Amino acid sequence: MKSLSDTSPAGLLRMLQDADPALDPQAWERLKTGIEALLAENRDLAARNARVELERDALFAAIGRQGIVYDAAGGVVVTGPGDENRIARSLSGMRDTPGDVPLHYPDGRPVRPEDLPGHLALRGETLESCRFVIPDRGNGEIHITVSASPIITGETITGAVVTWQDVTGEEKTRRRLEEANTLLEGLFESLGDIVGIQLPDHTILRYNRAGYEMLGITPEEAKGWKCYELIGRIVPCAVCATDLALASRKQEVVEKFVPELGRYMECRSSPILDEQGEVELVVEQLYDITDRKRTEYELRESEATARALLDAPEEMIVLLDTEGRLIDVNETATRRFALSREDLIGTNVCDLLPPDMAGVYAARFHEVARSGRAARFEDTWQGRLYDAVLYPVRDEHGGVTRVAVIARDITDVKRAGDALRNLTHDLNERIKELSTLYAVSRIIEQPGITLDGIFRDAVQVLPSGWQYPEDTVARITVRGREYRTERFRETPWRQASPIVVHAETVGTVEVCYLREMPGEDEGPFLREERSLIDTIAGRLGRTMERFQARECLEKSESQFREITQQSFDMIYTCYHEGGIAYMSPAVMRILGYTPDELIGCQCRDYVVPSSLPVWEEGRKKIVRGEPVEGLEIEFRRKDGSVAFLELNESPIVRDRSVIGVHVVGRDITERKQNEQLRRQAFEQIERNIEQFAILGDHIRQPLQVILGMTELLDEGTAVERIGEQVERINGYIRELDRGWIESRQVREFLRKHELA
């Protein structure tokens, strides 16, 4: 149509005439008129379409957006302004070149073709300012906001309109702003000092991390609280930097001690003013200056301490300048010179010394100041010996600017040193003596050593304990036997001590010097050497007593073992842990077990159940450390029968705890059986006595009836014969009565003598 509108009517007619020359003039006129009208209408439509496009582009430009119009079939009707825009191609789903990348969501996911904004609008959905990203390899990412809505004619979707706006610049600005905010937030949170933002009424808006950590609360817990309330107060601080800043409208600084925190704080409050010049916010910075305050305090303390340290020593301490004048002195120096500190300062040290010492000290002082090397020497002054040190004091460049003089009175130290050397000598002698005594003790305590070996080894170590061991010899004599060192011979310089065993002298320990030595407490011998030889002799005597006691003990143990082995009673030892440790051979005769069969077992396992209560009572007494006597227990024999044992038990105590028991068990089975028989016999006697009484009554009553009946009879002979038989029976009854009486007497006798 546009090409036709640019063609003249005559040209169109020529084209038609060439196409169909058979038309008549009238038809040509009508056709010409129609073509002219059609061309005029086409020109009008083209002009109107151009105006619409201009208006559309002006509208999109006015709102800062671009757009696409779709028809109902999803075809692009128009894009504007411009149809070659990269964004338009991406929104339309067109990928003209291999490098084109499809539309993406902000999270990086690609948009499927069916989910493009235009297609969603054609399905009736409306999008408002949705964000999308178009990856661009050359220029980075393009960020757009897209709105889409369907075109509805009547009730039918006849198309869709998609508009977009390039917000890449805004996105970059937003990201830079986020990065800046993140950086500022990081700086705010990472500050070591406490920073808080509050309203003019002290209400806290927020603190940095250091503030919350100092207060020990979370940001949520701090909201709505005032700064002074967070440290436990109900009113603002008496001196408050924030109140001062509110009044002055400028930064205020206050240093104060906060007792609730136990810290010294420097508070800096900076007001933030609004457009009218009123305080809108206050930024409060809190610096913990506790260490600084402590440092200042410690510095003052250090100065006082330095003066105290300077005055405390007994040494004279003097500080001189390079000319030898006194700059400072301690109290000891003022006492030594008998002048005040004010009188001494500024005086030349040579003026305070005797003339014979002044020159020597001046030469030494100048040598130290010149060379920078310390000097130390000893001098006598006013009858006292002093150890003096001249020490150079250097500046930061290494030059000597001062000389410190420290003079210590070592008179008493020298005397103490001499005494210490003498004491050290004596101590070394005591160590030698103790070493000798220890060596003898070690010999005595050797396992398996004999008395002969003890005397033979002990005599060899004796000389080492005396003051002159290289000229010392020794001899031990015991019951006619001698043990001596290699060069032993008796000399006038002799020391001896007897060996006593059970109040009987059985030998002698002797020590001799081979040549004359300086006199000491006992001839050439020290008092401590007398104590040493007596101690060794006493130790050897006690060792002999111990050997004798051991022999007696071994003999006693052998005899006891023999008695135990031959004992008729069962003897055993049982521990709480480990069970039976020893069992005498008598157990074979009494219970039928061999001792080896019972070693490691518990006695309780062989007690008859009926005897367990009595057994447990005995155990309780043993646990309390009490002995048990006459405990009668039934034990199970190996053949299954029962044996009665009478046990006498004694607890085994170690470290105040009962760990076991010693038991002597006597077999009383036969006695128990005899007691059972005796009990049965007594019971039989009881029954007999009762039967005797019953039988006498039962016989006596019928006889009385018979005798009464005979008195009614007239036959004299029969009556006489019946009376004789009755009397005879009565005799038997009297015999029964006498037996009953004797049985009672027997019973009383048995009870009296505990035989029943």
Mean pLDDT of 163-192: 76
Question: Does the structure show a pLDDT above 50 at 1?
Answer: no
Comparison of pLDDT for 711 and 606, the residue scoring more: 606
* Residue 51 confidence class, pLDDT cut points 50, 70, 90: low
Neighbours of 436 (CB within 10 A): 23
Give the per-residue pLDDT at 10: 59
- The topology under which CATH files domain 416-549 is Beta-Lactamase (3.30.450)
CATH entry, 63-174, from 3.30.1370, 3.40.50, 1.10.3470, 3.30.450: 3.30.450
Predicted local confidence at residue 502, as pLDDT? 86
Please determine whether the domains at 313-409 and 567-667 fall in the same fold group of CATH. Answer: yes
- DSSP code at position 581: E
Give residue 6's pLDDT. 53
Angle at the Cα of 184 from the Cα atoms of 183 and 190, rounded to 5 degrees: 85
CATH of domain 567-667: 3.30.450.20
Q: What is the pLDDT of residue 569?
A: 82
Q: What does the pLDDT look like over 196-230, one tens digit per residue?
A: 888 989 898 888 888 888 888 888 888 888 888 88
* Mean pLDDT for the stretch of residues 563-577: 77
User: What span, in angstroms and rounded, lies between the C-alpha atoms of 282 and 292?
Assistant: 26
Position 80 scores a pLDDT of 61
Mean pLDDT on 278-293: 85
Percent of the chain with pLDDT over 90: 5
Euclidean distance between the first and the last CA atom of the chain, given in angstroms as a whole number: 156
Q: Which amino acid is at 744?
A: R
Ranges of each domain in the chain: 2-48, 63-174, 191-294, 313-409, 416-549, 567-667, 677-752
Sequence letter at residue 149: S
Q: What is the pLDDT of residue 756?
A: 44
Beta carbons of 143 and 168 less than 8 angstroms apart: yes
CATH architecture for residues 191-294: 2-Layer Sandwich (3.30)
Q: What integer pLDDT is reported at residue 474 of this predicted model?
A: 93
215: left (phi over 0), alpha (psi -120 to 50) or beta: alpha
Q: What is the mean pLDDT of residues 623-646?
A: 89
Which CATH code is given to the segment(s) 313-409? Answer: 3.30.450.20
pLDDT at 53 over 70: no
Dihedrals φ, ψ of 688, to 5°?
-65, -45
Residue of 306 and 650 predicted with greater confidence: 650
Can you spell out the DSSP letters for 249-304?
Answer: SS-EEEEEEETTTTEEEEEEEEEEE-TTS-EEEEEEEEEE-HHHHHHHHHHHHHHH
Which residue is listed with tokens 């030494």?
364
User: What is the arithmetic mean of pLDDT over 543-565?
Assistant: 73
> What pLDDT does residue 473 have?
93
C-alpha count within 13 angstroms, C-beta hemisphere, residue 80: 18
Predicted local confidence at residue 509, as pLDDT: 92
450 versus 730: which is more confidently predicted?
A: 450
Per residue in 251-262, pLDDT (tens digit) is 999 888 888 878
For 30-39, 179-188, 329-338, 739-748, which range has the lowest pLDDT when averaged over its residues?
739-748
Q: How far apart are CA 194 and CA 189, in angstroms?
A: 9
| pLDDT tier for residue 64 given thresholds of 50, 70 and 90 | very low
| pLDDT for residue 62 | 46
Helix, strand, coil in percent for the chain, rounding step 5: 50, 25, 25
What digits encode the pLDDT tens for the residues 503-535?
889 899 999 999 988 888 888 998 888 888 898
Q: What is the mean pLDDT of the chain?
A: 79
| DSSP reduced 3-state for 66 | strand
Segment 127-137 mean pLDDT: 84
Task: Tell me how far CA of residue 275 lies from CA of 71, 272, 476, in angstroms.
Answer: 54, 10, 116
- Res. 270: pLDDT tops 60: yes
CA distance 712 to 710: 5
| Predicted confidence (pLDDT) per residue in 134-159, tens digit | 887 666 788 889 999 998 887 888 88
